[in-house]
Amino acid sequence: MSIQILGTGAYLPEKTVTNDDLAQMVETSDEWIMQRVGIRERRVSVNETTAEMAEKAARNALDAAGLEPEALDLIIAATVSSDSICPSLSARVQMMLGAHCPAFDLNSACSGFLFALDTAAAFIARGGYQHVLVIGAERLSRVLDWTDRSTCVIFGDGSGAFVVAPGEQLLASRIYTQGNDSALSISAGQNNSPFFARELAPYKVVMNGQETFKFAVRRLEEDIKLLCAQAGITPEQLDWIVPHQANTRIIDLCARRLKLPIEKFYMNIERCGNTSSASVPISFDELARSGKLKKGDLIAMSAFGGGLSSAGCIIKW
């Protein structure tokens, strides 16, 4: 049994932070960020929590699906910037929506939403789950080192969500992990134990950009090829690719390696930056609402990030 997407939703906080704004804070420029990353501006929360942003995306997805929160059988949320370790982000969203189903979080950094979608498909295949809410939500601005120009210019806040149900749209799905703690990490930070004698890294994003870049290019290309093989199609047959919005150069390289026109890759990185686990569902929601998707379109979603991890799927619209 496969799944279908009943509705999608997204939410971006109101405040826009431009590259010029960041150039007032660290030694950088609009020119460097546009050329090396492809971001012009990103949204940053000034008064909304991760859960509040997640709730808004979830309500938009429920509205699109024509469902009330009581209809949900399960909520899975992916995040690396939850408001609390306990309760989980998904439990907070369950409470805020007034839903009554089980809810749990899953962390696979920027690949988290597609890990969660794969998990939702597994629960649906098991039976007994009709409507599953899958969320990717991040307030990365709280985890960034705003004095580190190599990371603070890259990320943004936002949330995205899908409501999925049993159906026939999911043609392929895969998840991948290559454990590595030097390329990209966010330490859990503070240690309260008077017995633990070791220093812990501070709570902030630390990234080896080039190592992560190389992993990303390799994974994006290979995952899309493997997903196409699983679905019994060739990459040329894909109508759209919705990639993780980490760097336009990563997406350009992938398009060239796969010999696909760049126009097939949906991009909002210039406006949103990298919103980690929210990046793919926000992008997919924008594409779905743009009216550009036709019935029967083959769409690959592909993400990569901390872990190191990657994940992807192919949907027949």
Strand ranges (E), the chain: 2-11, 16-18, 41-43, 74-78, 103-106, 132-138, 158-167, 170-177, 184-186, 205-207, 240-243, 298-305, 309-316
Helix (H) or strand (E) holding 61: helix 50-65
Q: Which stretch binds ligand UT7 (CB under 6 A): 30-38, 72-80, 161-169, 234-242?
A: 30-38
**Cα–Cα distance between 115 and 107 in angstroms, integer?**
8
In the residue annotation, 244 being an active-site residue is answered as yes
Residue 291 CB, nearest distance to ligand UT7 (Å)? 28
Q: Residue 20 or residue 70: which is nearer to ligand UT7 going by CB? A: 20
Q: Kindly report the backbone phi and psi dihedral angles of residue 210, in degrees, each rounded to the nearest multiple of 5, phi listed first.
A: -70, -40
Closest of 196, 169, 201, 207 to residue 315, by C-alpha: 169
Catalytic site residue from 19, 60, 107, 110: 110
Burial class of residue 260 in the structure, from the number of CB atoms within 10 Å of its CB (0-12 exposed, 13-18 middle, 19+ buried)? middle
Catalytic site residue from 131, 152, 274, 313: 274
In the residue annotation, 228 being an active-site residue is answered as no
Residue 127 CB, nearest distance to ligand UT7 (Å)? 35
Q: Residue 149 or residue 225: which is nearer to ligand UT7 going by CB? A: 149
Catalytic site residue from 131, 244, 247, 272: 244
Q: Residue 225 or residue 249: which is nearer to ligand UT7 going by CB? A: 249
Ordered alpha helix ranges (H), 66-111: 89-97
Tokens standing for 301?
A: 């979603």
Closest of 205, 49, 174, 158 to residue 111, by C-alpha: 174
Q: Which residue is nearest to ligand UT7 (CB)?
A: 209
Q: Which of residues 212-251 bind ligand UT7 (CB under 6 A)?
A: 212-213, 216, 246-247, 250
Q: Residue 73 or residue 270: which is nearer to ligand UT7 going by CB? A: 270
Give the per-residue contact string, 76-115, with ligand UT7 (x = CB under 6 A; - = no). Answer: ----------------------------------x-----
Residue 36 CB, nearest distance to ligand UT7 (Å)? 5
Q: Residue 241 or residue 246: which is nearer to ligand UT7 going by CB? A: 246
Distances (CA, A) of 110 to 53, 90, 184: 17, 17, 11
Q: Residue 235 or residue 305: which is nearer to ligand UT7 going by CB? A: 305
What single string gives the DSSP state of each residue in 167-191? Answer: ES-EEEEEEEE---SSSEEE-----
Q: Kindly report the backbone phi and psi dihedral angles of residue 33, in degrees, each rounded to the nearest multiple of 5, phi listed first.
A: -65, -40
Q: Which stretch binds ligand UT7 (CB under 6 A): 33-41, 63-71, 81-89, 162-170?
A: 33-41
Catalytic residues: 110, 244, 274
Can you give the binding site for ligand UT7, defined by CB under 6 A? 28, 32-33, 36-37, 110, 149-150, 153, 184, 209-210, 212-213, 216, 246-247, 250, 274, 276, 305
